[in-house]
Chain A
Amino acid sequence: MTDPTYDRNLKCAFESVHLEFSKHIDTARSKLSQESLDEYYDGVEFFATIGQGDSVSIAFANVMPWVGAHFGKNSIKTITGFSYETIARSPNKEFLVDFIFSLIEVINYAKEDELEKFLSLIGYQLKQTTYSVHGIHVTHSSPSFRAFLSRIGVILSQLDYEGIYEWINYGLRYFKSHPERQEAFFLLSTSDSRAVFQRQRKGVLFVDIERRANLLQLALWGTDFMYAPYSPDFEQHEHFHPYLEDGVIRLPDIYTELNGINGSKRYFALIAHLLAHNQFTTAIVADNLSPHQRLFVEVFEDARVEYLCIQQYPGLKSIWQKLIPKIGESVCNEETQSCIRHRASMLSRALIDENHNYKNVEILKFVNKFKELMNTGESTTEDSLSLGLDFLASTRHASDSLADIFFTDTEISYRDDNRVMWIFIEDGDEGDDIFQKKFEDKENQKIEAVIPPHYYDEWDYKYESYKPDWAVVYERLHSHSDATFIDQLLDKNRDLVKQLKRVLDLLKPQNKKRLRFQEEGSELDLDIALRSVIELKNGSQPDTRINTDFEHDSRSVSVLLLLDLSESLNDIVEATNQTILELSQEAVSLLAWSMEQLGDNFAIAGFNSNTREHVMYYHIKGYSEHWDDTVKARLANLKAEYSTRMGAAIRHGAHYLDLQKSDKKLMLILTDGEPSDVDVKDPEMLIKDTHKAVQECQQKGMYPYCISLDNRADNYISDIFGSHYSVIDRIESLPKELPQLFLSLTK
């Protein structure tokens, strides 16, 4: 509070500033200390003189009463100084107004004593993203500062400062020289930006516990609803609650610990609540009820289904109890505020917690009514309806409809929006279906409409860490043409086919299996032999099957053949006057034929890439498909284009190969060059990443093997594949060599 007699005239040439200032001076007087008020005057006057017109002063006059009140002593002066020194006197002066306006959101999340910390964070982002072309002078404005400011609320609310710096540094590391990507990163609009952001958050990600959630649902309720997590924090403008609709459970993608309940238990509480509704709630007509009435009916219905569920699973009670906020009885003033949510909150607690200690007569009365109802053993949603209506009728207060609603601690995080219990006969605009909207967005982008892309991490050897969700892999069925083309290729190589056939017959499957009771075999079975001796002595007919032998079990091999389909395959091999692609087609046809003969489980896929945003993975033959005309038709139509981002393709192929149930899993990669892509300048980067992908496969028990057609391959290939590679120098011999190589690998 300031001295009411204090009077100071604002010295400013802009009429508009005077006008704006007069709107806010009363607030400033009531909120600021004498000292701060002076700083406030100084600031408004100062910013009108720095040559940026009236806009900065207007913004300043607008927000500073609140900001100054939040951060306290000297804060206005500090902000004025910072704004001038760091922003106004730099190429970024255009962002000054944005910065000042963003403060109004900042005070919701930054603590009173964190002003310095916050300002140095802003200064850091700004300094690091403002770059100069010729070195000495900083000449270009930050491409991402405005984006960063627009997300400042989300950023401060979700991460601690350490996490924010990590996230900023990640963005700087990869997008410093790419203005558009940098902007998208700081806008949190790209998947990798979100992934890095998520990783800095504290809490349990739903994806990490999804299998457990599924099993638990099945074990306790016998249901198998799907889950679709949403990110409430990235879509702040709308307020989401979990819900269960059309067999899908929508829930937040991350939960931090709350009141001593860890994230996975909070998910459990949420799922239990939804399924309790699913089990016990029957929908009733909502049209004749006011929102207030619905609120209390919902409170009783929530309590009712939870009560019934607790009868089955008493352990849930303590979890739910802890998650309902303990709200004080007298924190809400009925004279000045609408206490409707406060009452609902007290009621929620009183209905589940016997030790609620509330003295409110009506609450006690209705808790007793509720108990009586539940003790009868039979209750329906209709009962909640009448309890809710009665409760509101007997507690109604004139202030209920005031605009100033008491909200603090009145939200119960694990409860859904109760859409299951209402039927709206009239068409309304109830329910915010964000997922529908998202889907429509996607449809606008042609390529995403078919199958959603897969995201894979990529290894950065310089920082010894993964770049999360970096490469976007689109999987598509390969287009097809004429299958007879492949048959002609096989026909052309019929000598080779004959040769191969002989080798195939010799190939013996592995896996030994003991056979007892054999007339002939490699070992004597002593037990049986002894019995036969006895029988012989006894004069009866002895059993002559006294040997054991070993039998080879069936071959248990799964093979993925991964074809590099990059532009360079269009090069012509002089010796045969064919392109490498045509030779590859021949080789692959022969190999596929051989594998089909052996009855091995195999798949063929091709890949190429056009930056990390578009890694294409073409499905040519699946494990369950046979080597028939459809597959041949796809193989006949192979095209070579773009580049070779091998790591992402290997990871995607490994994903499917890993699902195959066989003892040996072989991944054959046929390529004509080193991994590279147009958006990667450092040639080592993708080589190292591919090496990492190969290691990942090996850890999962797969056996990646590379067949390279590049005669310079010796320079890098062992860095990627260790000793698991062959280089075929005479490309024209590929059709002959490839099947033989495969056979020797699986012998």
Chain B
Amino acid sequence: MANFDISQFKVVESPYYQEQFNEIDLYKVAYSSRLPVMIKGPTGCGKSRFIEHMAYKLDKPIITVSCNEDITASDLIGRFLLDSDGTRWVDGPLTIAARHGAICYLDEVVEARQDTMVVIHSLTDHRRELMIDKKGELLKAHPDFQLVISYNPGYQSLMKDLKQSTKQRFVALDFDFASPEIEAIIVSNESGVDSEIAKKLVQFANTTRKLVGHGLDEGASTRLLNYAGILISKGVDIKDACQIALIKPITDDAEVREVMNASMEAIFG
């Protein structure tokens, strides 16, 4: 345990990130006081990329946990495992981060059951400590430790929401798809297509986002735009790329597809 190498969780290469508002400075200030941060925003708008980018900038290790409904408190904290000598304690990701001073990033946190989420409470207020009851250890968090959670307020049902007692432990950054100009810069940088094509791709994505609630649950995300851009820069025909990266993944409704095809024809000529 003593020779645990936390530096493996460091981000080695600078992840590309295009600032949308002054979120980078805001985050830096929050980190300097180790305030827990909550990031909201639709699928594929750059939440995870942002955290990765900040971890790189701050030169801190980051441990990401993707939450699902079967995740339990011991999946976060750690548990005893059987081995040839009997049992052995293994730290969970949250404990590793708290012990060694990393940013712990809980992605799509509303997917986790509410009774699981309460274990983070003591880490996210003035106490900054974690009771590992099975081991009988009270872990004081490392000075570099910070907790970040993200979720998508759009598509989760009313049933899946965070408790107020959890919500009110975080400062929140609200993300959305970037403005068309910035999003075009992102797409062009990420995928290598020229800025004209990137602008058109963004224009097309925005037509799909207007259909949310009218046959679409979510519009095409920035991530999908990047995929389309990558396909195009590798020589795939623009319309084919839109088909396989932007239209087919997001809907199975034939009429909606037809409408998206017509929009595509209108935009790309």
Chain A contact residues, CB within 8 Å of chain B: 211-212, 214-216, 218-220, 222, 268, 272, 312-318, 516, 531, 534-535, 537-538, 540-541
| Contact A216–B263 (Cβ < 8 Å) | yes
B residues near A218, Cβ cutoff 8 Å: 210-211, 214
Which A residue sits closest to B209, measured CB to CB? Answer: A219
Pick 30 A–B contacts, CB within 8 A, sort by A.
A211-B255, A212-B255, A212-B259, A214-B214, A215-B211, A215-B215, A215-B255, A215-B256, A215-B259, A216-B259, A218-B214, A219-B210, A220-B266, A268-B262, A312-B203, A312-B267, A314-B268, A315-B267, A315-B269, A531-B74, A534-B87, A535-B134, A537-B82, A537-B87, A538-B80, A538-B86, A538-B134, A540-B80, A540-B134, A541-B134
Q: Is the CB of B79 within 8 A of A315?
A: no
Q: Which of B120-144 contact A (CB under 8 A)?
A: 134-135
Contacting A at CB under 8 A, from B70-99, are 70, 74, 79-82, 86-87
Complex Cα–Cα for A409 and B74 (A): 78
Which chain A positions have C-beta within 8 A of B259?
A: 212, 215-216, 219
Measured between C-beta atoms, what is the minimum distance from B197 to chain A in Å? Answer: 13
Given contacts A218-B214, A534-B81, 12 further A-B contacts (CB under 8 A): A215-B255, A216-B259, A216-B263, A219-B208, A219-B210, A219-B211, A220-B207, A312-B203, A315-B267, A516-B70, A535-B80, A541-B134
Contacts of B260 in A (CB 8 A): 219
Q: How far is A222 from B269 in the complex, measured between Cα atoms in Å?
A: 20
Contacting residues, chain A, for B255 (C-beta < 8 A):
211-212, 215
Interface: B252 (CB within 8 A): no
Residues in B with CB closer than 8 Å to A219 are: 207-208, 210-211, 259-260, 263
* Closest-CB distance, A238 to chain B (whole angstroms): 31
Query: Known: A215-B259, A219-B208. Is A317-B80 also a contact (CB below 8 A)?
Result: no
Asked if A534 and B80 sit within 8 Å, CB to CB, the answer is yes
Residue of B80, B207, B258 touching A212 (CB-CB under 8 A): B258
Q: How many residues of B contact A (CB 8 A)?
A: 30
Shortest Cβ distance from residue A208 to the other chain B in the assembled complex, whole angstroms? 10
Q: In the complex, what residues of B have CB within 8 A of residue A541's CB?
A: 134
- B80 and A313: CB pair below 8 A? no
A202 to B215, CA, bound (A): 29
Cα A276 to Cα B223 with chains together (Å): 31
B269 and A317: CB pair below 8 A?
Answer: yes
Q: How far is the CB of B118 from chain A (nearest CB, A)?
A: 14
Chain B contacts for A220, CB-based, 8 A: 207, 263, 266
Most chain B CB atoms below 10 A, which of A219, A220, A314, A538:
A219
Give A215 to B259 CA distance when docked, in angstroms.
7
B265 at the interface (CB under 8 A from A): yes
What residues of chain A lie closer than 8 Å to B269, measured between beta carbons?
314-315, 317-318
Tell me if B87 and A538 are in contact (CB < 8 A): yes
Q: With the chains together, A202 CA to B134 CA distance in Å? A: 77
Could you tell me the distance in whole angstroms from the C-beta of B242 to the nearest C-beta in chain A?
12
Q: Mark B200-242, 1 if CB is under 8 A from A, else 0.
A: 0001000110110011000000000000000000000000000
**Distance between B132 CB and nearest chain A CB, rounded to angstroms:** 11
Nearest residue (CB) in B for A313 is B266
Complex Cα distance, B203 from A215, in Å, reads 16
Cα distance A534–B90 when bound, in Å? 13
Chain B residues closer than 8 Å to A537, beta-carbon distance: 82, 86-87
- Give chain A residues whose Cβ lies under 8 Å from the Cβ of B266: 220, 272, 313-316
Report the separation of the CA atoms of residues A330 and B135 in the bound assembly, to the nearest whole angstrom. Answer: 97
- B203 (CB) vs chain A CBs: closest residue: A312
B208, A315: Cβ atoms closer than 8 Å: no
Evaluate contact between B258 and A315: CB separation under 8 angstroms: no
CB distance from B226 to the nearest CB of A (A): 21
The 7 closest A-B pairs by CB, nearest first: A314-B269, A313-B266, A219-B207, A315-B266, A215-B259, A315-B269, A315-B265
Minimum Cβ distance to chain A for residue B167 (Å): 24
The chain B residue sitting closest to A310, CB to CB, is B269
Identify the interface centre among B203, B256, B265: most chain A CB within 10 Å of its CB. Answer: B265
Does B82 contact A215, Cβ atoms closer than 8 Å?
no
- Chain A nearest CB from B86 CB (Å) reads 7
CA distance A318 to B81 in the complex (A): 68
Residues of A within 8 A of B79 (CB): 531, 534
Q: What's the minimum C-beta distance from B218 to chain A, rounded to whole angstroms? A: 14
Distance between Cα atoms of A469 and B268 in the complex (Å): 41
Cα distance A531–B267 in the bound complex, in angstroms: 57
A531 vs B255: C-alpha distance when bound (angstroms)? 50
Contacts of B268 on A, CB cut-off 8 Å? 314-315
Q: How far is the CB of B200 from chain A (nearest CB, A)?
A: 9
Q: Which residues of A contact B134 (CB under 8 A)?
A: 535, 538, 540-541
Complex Cα spacing A243 to B185, Å: 39
A314 touches B258 (CB 8 A): no
Q: B263 contacts which chain A residues (CB < 8 A)? A: 216, 219-220
Tell me the minimal C-beta distance from B99 to chain A in angstroms. 19
Residue of B nearest to A314 (CB): B269
Chain A residues in 8 Å Cβ range of B214? 214-215, 218
Smallest Cβ-Cβ distance to B215: which chain A residue: A215
Name the distance in Å between B79's Cβ and chain A's nearest Cβ. Answer: 7
Interface core residue of A268, A313, A541 (most chain B CB under 10 Å): A313
Max count, chain A CB within 10 A of own CB: residue among B74, B262, B264, B266: B266
Cβ of A107 to closest chain B Cβ, rounded Å: 40
